[in-house]
A = this chain, B = another copy of it.
């Protein structure tokens, strides 16, 4: 297809598609003349991914570029690449001080209680630390009982997610990034709706 048809298929303005081409986020089409190229389904899929990252996920073009580089070149250590890709997603956690021997005490204790891997280089550790600290500061610290209950259910969800991860490395990075970022709002909405459902069934206030 021509570039105008590609833009229409992706639901993007032509200028935006040209911008992504110039910036190298979108791979070039096949040249059919000195001034024309043809595009295929791979370009439509790529634009859909760029649109998700810069739209629903809320990344800047520079942040999206970093993630697309990992999708394009997952390297030999897929585990490390998946960690870096997820670590590039919001929320951005503050870097710990290099001098601090124990920068994430709450997250470390929580992961020990859950018998899970503790690796302070992983961005979600800093994210957990600040979430636990905020709950504590508000006078609603997460009890160990609650931590174990949440942790158990979320491990079940994570196991489901991982079982369905594509084996092919490029697809695995894309699945992990989008499945993390796009399914998180689904999970939060479902929890709120489960509260509402449980409360309605108990006929609170009725």
Contact = CB atoms under 8 A, between A and B. Distances in A.
Q: What bracket does the count of chain A residues touching chain B fall in?
A: 35 or more
A187 B56 contact: no
A200 interface: yes
**Copies of this chain present:** 2
Contacts of A137: 48, 51-52, 56
A22 interface: no
Given A82-B204, A202-B162, A205-B76, A150 B117 contact: no
A197 interface: yes
A163 to B, nearest CB: 9
Among A55, A158, A193, A198, the one with the most B-chain Cβ atoms within 10 Å of its Cβ is A193
Chain A facing B: main interface SS: helix
21 contacts: A52-B134, A77-B205, A78-B205, A79-B200, A79-B204, A79-B206, A81-B205, A82-B195, A127-B189, A140-B179, A150-B160, A154-B187, A155-B194, A157-B191, A159-B194, A162-B195, A176-B195, A180-B192, A184-B191, A187-B187, A187-B191
Interface of A: 45, 48-49, 51-52, 55-56, 76-83, 86, 91, 107, 111, 116-117, 119, 122, 124-125, 127-128, 130-132, 134-135, 137-140, 142, 146, 149-151, 153-162, 164, 175-176, 178-180, 182-206
